[in-house]
């Protein structure tokens, strides 16, 4: 008796771990997108693409090398003869191959739907803040040496007082023939509450100046022993370093420039740590991050990477 058509198992590929590796990569990629961790997204994408490509190649080569011969013509068993199928009339696209393609195609569509919007936001965030408007805070003579000045200004005059911000500014003197300033944000690194100076505020010497754009900048002298958050008790020293309470890092700072004798405020940035004081301080700065976000240490690797703010 001749073997039946379904008895030949030589064309069935052996077990492979490639689909498992591909699935693991896809899971890591999706989990990274869910928790907004772009390191995990990158690792998952690399795994999925690498093992998925090898898997598809093996499937294609296996079918090319192990194709079945056409079925033999039917044997005459009696007066009745079975019809001989015409060449090419058999199954042209096997069902298992269709299911494989449909599964991979559906996975690709789902991956694109989930990935493209997130990648678009990430790409767009890289261009945010490129048109940041630098703010003229007035002549540097308005900032006495080694004294803190509470300075308020409008970050975006077009929206009015809702964009009013406060910075604590200290003139540190000269560093290598250039003026040095410490400019601390008043946004608490815990939940973003407004930090207050721990010391007397001299409102009698409050001063308002108007820059060339007609924007009013308010400056009030203060003698802080540090800064404190009235919301949850976070405490900082005069360099903005956390000394107590729930904040996870130092106070954010502002970049600055001296233009024609005026102090010009630049973009804000986050601070991992500060070593030293005043003009001799060594600052480890990072991109501006949201309150509560760790920017160094082992906690940083456990925290989802937020949108980079500029």
Query: How far is the C-alpha of 143 from the C-alpha of 137, rounded, in Å?
Result: 10
Name the 3-class secondary structure at 265: strand
Whether 3 maps to a domain, the answer reads: no
Query: Is 37 in the same domain as 148?
Result: no
**pTM higher than 0.85, yes or no?**
no
Do 61 and 156 have their domain in common? Answer: no
**Within a 10 A sphere around the Cβ of 42, how many other Cβ atoms?**
13
**Selection from 179, 175, 178 nearest residue 144 by Cα:** 179
Of 6 and 266, which is predicted with more confidence?
Answer: 266
Of 127, 145, 171, the position where a domain reaches its end is: 127
Q: Which of 239, 142, 250, 99 shows the shortest CA–CA distance to 188?
A: 250
Q: How far apart are CA 39 and CA 120, in angstroms?
A: 16
Q: Are residues 243 and 158 in the same domain?
A: yes
What pLDDT sits at residue 307?
Answer: 46
Q: Is residue 7 part of a domain?
A: no
Residues 143 and 278 placed together within one structural domain of the fold = yes
pLDDT(125) > 50:
no
Query: Are residue 236 and residue 173 in the same domain, yes or no?
Result: yes
Same domain, 27 and 148: no
Residues near 208 by beta carbon (within 8 Å), at least 6 away in sequence: 216, 217, 218, 219
Answer with the residue of higher pLDDT: 305 or 272. Answer: 272
203 and 241 together in one domain = yes
Same domain, 155 and 197: yes
Q: What is the mean pLDDT of residues 116-131?
A: 52
Q: Is 87 helix (H, G, I), strand (E, B) or coil?
A: coil
Burial of 29 (0-12, 13-18, 19+ CB in 10 A): buried
Could you identify the residue written with the tokens 């048109």?
131
239 plus 294 within the same structural domain: yes
Say whether pLDDT at 197 is over 50. Answer: yes
In a domain, 81, yes or no: no
Mean pLDDT of the chain: 77
The CATH number of whichever domain residue 170 belongs to comes to: 2.102.10.10
Same domain, 172 and 289: yes
Residue 276 resides in a domain? yes
The DSSP output letter for 232 is: T
Pairwise CA distance, residues 269 & 211, whole Å: 24
Q: Which residue has the tokens 């079975």?
A: 82
DSSP string across 276-300: S-GGG-EEEEESB--TT---SHHHH
**Residue 264 maps to a domain:** yes
The pLDDT-based confidence of 162 (bands split at 50, 70, 90) is confident
Containing 182, the helix (H) or strand (E) segment is: strand 178-185
Residue-range definition of the domain harbouring residue 40: 14-69+93-127
Indicate whether 298 and 215 sit together in one domain. yes
Q: How many domains would you assign to the chain?
A: 2
Q: Could you write out the DSSP letters of every residue in 114-166?
A: HHHHHHHHHHHHHHTTTTPPPEEEEEGGGS-BT-EEEEEEES-GGGGGGGEEE
Asked, for residue 18, whether it belongs to a domain, the answer is yes
What number is the average pLDDT over the span 256-280?
91
Is the pLDDT confidence value at 269 over 50?
yes
Q: In this predicted model, what pLDDT tens digit does every residue of 90-104 receive, in sequence order?
A: 556 566 666 667 777
CA distance 284 to 275: 9
In a domain, 9, yes or no: no
């Amino acid at each position: 008796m001749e073997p039946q058509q379904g008895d030949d198992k030589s064309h069935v590929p052996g077990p492979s771990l490639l689909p498992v590796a591909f699935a693991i990569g896809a899971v890591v990629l999706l989990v990274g997108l869910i928790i907004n961790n772009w390191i995990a997204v990158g690792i998952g994408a690399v795994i999925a693409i690498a093992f998925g490509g090898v898997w598809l190649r093996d499937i294609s080569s296996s079918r090319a090398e192990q194709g079945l011969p056409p079925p033999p013509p039917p044997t005459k068993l009696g007066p009745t003869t079975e019809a001989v199928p015409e060449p090419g009339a058999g199954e042209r696209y096997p069902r298992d191959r269709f299911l494989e393609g449909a599964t991979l195609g559906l996975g690709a569509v789902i991956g694109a739907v989930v990935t493209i919007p997130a990648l678009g936001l990430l790409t767009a965030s890289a261009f945010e803040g490129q048109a940041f408007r630098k703010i003229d805070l007035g002549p540097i003579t308005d900032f006495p040496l080694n004294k803190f000045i509470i300075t308020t200004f409008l970050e975006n005059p077009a929206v009015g007082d809702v964009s009013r911000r406060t910075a604590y500014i200290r003139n540190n003197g000269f560093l290598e023939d250039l003026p040095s300033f410490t400019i601390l944000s008043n946004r608490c690194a815990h939940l973003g509450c407004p930090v207050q100076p721990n010391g007397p505020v001299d409102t009698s010497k409050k001063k308002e100046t108007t820059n060339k754009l007609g924007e009013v900048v308010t400056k009030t002298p203060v003698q802080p022993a540090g800064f404190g958050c009235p919301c949850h008790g976070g405490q900082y020293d005069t360099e903005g370093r956390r000394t107590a309470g729930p904040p996870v890092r130092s106070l954010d700072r502002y970049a600055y420039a001296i233009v024609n004798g005026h102090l010009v405020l630049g973009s804000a940035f986050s601070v991992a740590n500060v070593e030293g004081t005043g003009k001799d301080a060594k600052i480890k700065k990072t991109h501006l991050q949201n309150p509560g976000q760790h920017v160094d240490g082992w906690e940083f690797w456990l925290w989802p990477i937020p949108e980079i703010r500029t």
